[in-house]
Amino acid sequence: MTALRLTFTDGKWLLAVFAIALVVRLAMVAYAHPDPRDGRFDDSVWYDTTARHLANGEGYVFDPNVWVAADGSPIYPGESELSPTALWPWGYPVTLAALYAVTGDSVTAAHLLNVLLGSLTCVLVFLIARRLFDLTSAIFAGLALAMMPSHILFTSILLSETYFGFLLALVLAISVYTVLDPDEAETPPSHGMLAIVLGLGALTAFAGYVRGEFLAYGGVLALLVLWRYRKHAALPLAALAAGAALVVVPWTLRNAAVMDEVIVGTTGAGRVTYQGHNPDTDGGPSLIATGQLEAQFAGLPRKEIELQSNREGSRLAREWALEHPVDELRLVPKRLYRLFRSDEAGVTWLQSNKPWFGAEGADRLIRLSTFVFWGLIAIALASAPMWWRQRDPRFWAVFGILPFYIITFGVLFIGDPRYHYALYIPITVFAGRGLAALWLLTAEHWRTIAGDRTPLSYLRSPGAPPSAPTA
C-alpha cells in the first residue's frame, strides 16, 4: 500500500498553500457573512433550519414557517406544521446539526467550518497534483484554487458547495494515493487495502448525500477499480459496494418507514428533472415549473405534495423527453451554455434577496470570477499534452469529473453556473500543470538573459537585465 511521503520542501509549500487559503477565506467571511435567519429566500435557509431541527431532536423535517418572500410574506400561507421530508440530500444538514449541537446553533461556527473545509480542499488539490505530476504543479494547483474568486466567495454562504468540494477532493486524493495506484504491488489486494476501499465506498456515498448527483459517480469509481484490479477485482468491488451500502441503506430504510415510500435519493429529483424537460423549459432552473407541479396537489398534506410532485415530475419529464427527441437535442447546447456562460454563482448567491454588494461591485466580481475561471480552463486545455494519461486509472478518477458533470447537467438535468462548482478541482489540478510549465519556461528564459542573478536582485539595484545573447 503506497504511503503518503512528503519531503520537507513539500511540507513547507503545503503549509503555505493552506495558510494563504485560510487567510483569504477568513478575510472573506469577516467582510461578508450572510445570515440564513435574516429573512432571505435561498437554499441556505433550508440547510440552516433543517440542521437546527435535527440538533433539537425533531428529526429531518420540512419547516414551512421560515420561507418568506422579499416583502416578508409567507411562501406557504396557512401551513405551520413540521412534516417529515426527503426533499434535499441530508449530508450537509446532518453535519451542521452536529456543529450546532456543540456551539448552540452558531452561524459563525458554520462560517468558520466553511473556512476550514475550503482551505483543506486547497491542500487536497495540492496533494492530488503532487501525486499525479510534481511539486511545482502542485504548488500552482493549490494556489490556483486558494485564490479562485468563486471558491472564496462560496465560503461565506451556508450552502453545500464548500463541504462537497472538500469531500470530492478527499475521495479523489484517497483514490490516487491508494485504491487506484498503478504501482501497487499487492495482488490480490491486502486486507488493509480492502478496508480503504470500503471506506472509499462509504465516503463517496456520503458525498452523494451532500450533492445528490454524485451518488452516480460511485459507478465510475467501480469501473476504475475493475480496470485497476482486473481478475482480482471481485473483492475490491464488493468492498466498494458494501461501503456505499453502509450509507445508502439506513437512509432508504428511514424513508420507507417515515415517508411510506422506498426512496434511495431524494424527492427533489423529480422536480429538478421536470424543470429541465417540459414544454416551457429553457434548459435552466425554474421555480415556476416547480410551482406548477406542486399546484396540482394543493390541499394535500405537505408530505403527500412532496411525494406526488416527485412521482409526477419524473413521469412528465420522461414522457416529454421521449416524445420530443428533437427538442431534447436542441436543449443540450442551451444547458451547456447556462452551465458555462459565467462563473457568477458565488456572487449571485451572496446577493440573494439580501445583497452584500452594490450592483457595480457585484458586476465587477462576476467579471473577475469568470475571467479566472475561463483563464484556468484555457491554460488546462493548452497544456493537455503535458497531463494527458490514457492508461493511468488515477488520472481518469480526476479527469472523469469533467465529462460526468457536463453530461449530468448539460444533458440530463438543468444547466446553471452553480452546478459547475465540482469542476474547480480537476480544472485547477490540470491548470496547475500548465502554470508550472509556464513558470519553468519563464525561469529558463530569465536565466538565459540574466545569468545567475535573480529577479529580486534587480529590484535592489538599478539597471535592467542584460539583453539575451545573440548567435
In a domain, 333, yes or no: yes
Mean pLDDT of the chain: 92
**Tens of pLDDT, residues 289-317:** 999 999 999 999 999 999 999 999 999 99
How many percent of the chain have pLDDT more than 70?
Answer: 92
Domain-embedded: residue 390: yes
Q: How many CB atoms within 10 Å of residue 303?
A: 20
Res 471: pLDDT: 38
Q: How confident is the model at residue 354 (pLDDT cuts 50, 70, 90)?
A: confident
Q: What is the pLDDT of residues 81-96, one digit of tens each?
A: 999 999 999 999 999 9
- pLDDT by residue (tens digit) across 163-186? 999 999 999 999 999 999 876 545
Judge whether 145 and 21 are in contact, CB under 8 Å.
Answer: yes
pLDDT of residue 39: 87
Mean pLDDT of 199-212: 98
Cell of 209: 448525500
Q: Mean pLDDT over residues 230-250, rounded?
A: 96
Res 78: pLDDT: 87
Per-residue pLDDT band at 4 (split at 50, 70, 90): low
Query: For residue 451, what pLDDT is reported?
Result: 63
- Residue 457's DSSP bridge partners are none
Residue 462 lies in a domain: no
pLDDT of residue 462: 47
Contact between 339 and 417 under an 8 Å Cβ cutoff? The reply is yes
Whether residue 348 is predicted with pLDDT greater than 90 in this model: the reply is: yes
pLDDT tens track for 34-65:
999 998 889 999 999 999 999 999 999 999 99
Contact 409, 419 (CB under 8 A): yes
Q: Three cell numbers at 17?
A: 498553500
Identify the pLDDT of residue 185: 47
- The pLDDT score that the predictor gives to residue 182 is 78
CA angle 113, 4, 424 (to 5 degrees): 45
**Mean pLDDT, rounded, for 435-459:** 70
- 189 inside domain: yes
Domain encompassing residue 123? 8-450
Higher pLDDT: 133 or 440? It is: 133
Q: Cα separations (Å) of 399 from 44, 149, 222, 396? A: 30, 22, 15, 5
| pLDDT exceeds 90 at position 416 | yes
Model pLDDT, residue 360: 94
Judge whether 265 lies within some domain.
Answer: yes
First to last CA, the chain: 52
Query: 89: which 3 cell numbers?
Result: 440530500
Q: Kindly report the three-state secondary structure assignment for every residue of the chain.
A: CCCCCCCHHHHHHHHHHHHHHHHHHHHHHHHCCCCCCCCCCCHHHHHHHHHHHHHCCCCCEECHHHCECCCCCECCCCCCCCEECCCCCCHHHHHHHHHHHHHCCCHHHHHHHHHHHHHHHHHHHHHHHHHHCCHHHHHHHHHHHHCCHHHHHHCCCCCCHHHHHHHHHHHHHHHHHHHCCCCCCCCCCCHHHHHHHHHHHHHHHHHHCCCHHHHHHHHHHHHHHHHHHHHHCHHHHHHHHHHHHHHHHHHHHHHHHHCCCCCCCCCCHHHHHHHHCCCCCCCCCCHHHHHHHHHCCCCCCHHHHHHHHHHHHHHHHHHHHHHCHHHHHHHHHHHHHHHHCCCCHHHHHHHCCCCCCCHHHHHHHHHHHHHHHHHHHHHHHHCHHHHCCCCCHHHHHHHCHHHHHHHHHHHHCCCCHHHHHHHHHHHHHHHHHHHHHHHHHHHHHHHHHHCCCCHHHHHHCCCCCCCCCCC
Task: Answer yes or no: is 193 within a domain.
Answer: yes
pLDDT band at 455 (very low <50, low <70, confident <90, very high): low
Can you tell me the distance from the alpha carbon of 25 to that of 112, in angstroms, rounded to the nearest whole number? Answer: 9
**Residue in the structure block whose three cell numbers are 494519461:** 389
pLDDT tens-digit readout, 387-396: 999 999 999 9
Using alpha carbons, select from 232, 215, 126, 112 the residue that is nearest to residue 164. 215
- Confidence band of 276 (pLDDT split at 50, 70, 90): very high
Confidence at residue 459, expressed as pLDDT on a 0 to 100 scale: 45
Amino acid in position 102: V
Is 465 a domain residue?
no
Confidence at residue 183, expressed as pLDDT on a 0 to 100 scale? 66
In-domain check, residue 457: no
The total number of structural domains in the chain stands at 1
